[in-house]
Chains A and B, each alone.
Chain A
Amino acid sequence: MKLLAVALLAAAATPAMKSVDVSLPDDETQFTGPDADLLNANCTGCHSPAMVLYQARMDAATWAESVKKMRDTYKAPIDDADAARLPAALAAVQAQ
């Protein structure tokens, strides 16, 4: 056996697994500012605003790549008109 730390254990030591029922805290945060409605409608369906707000500052061209990835890869339901507005709005909300 190549892994020294492995030890075969008696199976009887652990009682049967208990069911688990928990709740996750709500995330009440929302984007604010002039583009809040656009950002909340298109981004927060899948993730908290923090995913945007904690990124390093990026220009609109870089945000455009991210919007494209969200639509093409992760199938975010963002329509063409909103997709055109989002890069500038994302860059602006970072600067707030």
Chain B
Amino acid sequence: MTGPLLPRRSILLGAAALAGTARAQRIVDLHLPGGPSQRPTSSAWPQKGEMIVQRARPPLLETPFEVFGQGVFTPNDRFFVRWHWGDIPTSIDAAAFRLNVRGHVARPLSLSLDELMAMPRIEYAAVNQCSGNSRGYFEPRVLGAQWGHGAMSNAKWTGVRLKDVLDRAGVQPGAVAVRFAGLDQPLVPDGPDFMKSLDLDHARDGEVMIAFLQNGEPLPLLNGFPLRVIVPGWFSTYWMKMLSDIEVLTAPDDNFWMAKAYRIPDTPGANVAPGAKGFATKPISRMIPRSWITSHADGARVTAGRPLPVRGIAMGGDAGVKSVALSVDGGRSWADASLGRDEGKYSFRRFEAVLPPPAAGALSLLPRCTSTAGVTQSMEPIWNGGGYLRGQVEPTRIMVA
């Protein structure tokens, strides 16, 4: 049962699907309040199937929502794409590639892929979600990539512990943070190179991974081939693509991308009144629970008087999915859905339920996830100027007739 959330394809240009062009295959409507809401899709990007083109350069490619109804793991060729700067290497020599580890370490390293792949490996599933996923639904609207809900994907990652690589380099006393940089470069000479960092304790927690396989295959170039940092439970801004440089720092990272960008209000739920000023901010970090109906699209029609089977996907954020409840009465009453197979606490998890026969009329399907950390999705939207950390219950409105 894979009912797309988006309207059925309205334009289908078969020739464009075959040609290596960026011509639109179909137009999807993301239903962004106030618009503009329509986006073309294209299969023209290397190692990618049909993706929603939010921006060609640098690429912002959104996963079409129906993909999430097809399984909890996002196929590599449908995995969403987001780059900050347009100078992206398109050719990577696997034999010549080196990962440098430097800074406050005893033994600076320059590791080949063969050397990394010979180290002990770990593997787990984890959702990679853009800090601004669903930004286009913020009201009032905010500037930034106008994503629908598809700036997220889930994969099984294989690689080495960042801790093991740091231990091999020998972190020196006095180190406090670990900074990551990739092979992409700013397009203007003085532009801030994209770099992110984690506190040393987090970097050494044994979970943070340097991945070289995504769903068992080398990463697509646009998802960070050959190496990507995996920070399970945290937003993808920390999941550095094309990782080439690890620097151990002796002071908190004050680079632009930590000190000025990707910051959220230091308030409950990162929520402030629209237009508010003067509040403290902090770097975005942990994800929160979310869930969506995938069996029915907004506007779908179902038959009155018959049991209504529904399905969806949920994520716990920085913890597992404890439960998903469903409401069809605006949140006055809730019934637990049954959960699908547990692929690990950082993975998407399927849920399903058969609802009692609905009466004729408009019906709003509300899924609500509670994480194993005890966090339950709110019914109320939050707002902040960055359009970060949306996590409220997401209704799917259908018509019963």
Contact = CB atoms under 8 A, between A and B. Distances in A.
A, B: real partners: yes
Interface of A: 1-11, 14, 16-29, 45-48, 50-51, 53-58, 62, 66, 73-77
Given A17-B94, A74-B186, 16 more contacts: A2-B207, A3-B124, A3-B207, A5-B346, A9-B122, A11-B118, A16-B94, A16-B113, A20-B91, A20-B225, A22-B46, A24-B45, A24-B88, A73-B260, A74-B191, A75-B191
B256 A9 contact: no
B276 interface: no
Interface of B: 20-22, 32, 34-36, 39, 42, 44-47, 53-59, 85-86, 88, 90-95, 113-114, 117-125, 141, 143, 145-146, 158, 186-192, 206-207, 212-213, 218, 221, 225-226, 232, 256, 260, 343-347
B344 A22 contact: no
A84 to B, nearest CB: 20
A6 B191 CA distance: 38
Nearest to A46: B187
A60 to B, nearest CB: 14
A54 B52 CA distance: 13
Contact of A19 (B94, B125, B346): B94
A56 B35 contact: yes
B117 A14 contact: yes
A7 B123 contact: yes
Nearest to A62: B143
B27 to A, nearest CB: 13
Contacts of A14: 117, 158, 212-213
B188 A50 contact: no
B20 A47 contact: no
B56 A75 contact: no
A75 B190 contact: yes
Contacts of A27: 22, 56-57
11 contacts: A4-B345, A7-B123, A9-B123, A10-B121, A11-B121, A14-B117, A17-B226, A21-B92, A24-B59, A25-B45, A77-B188
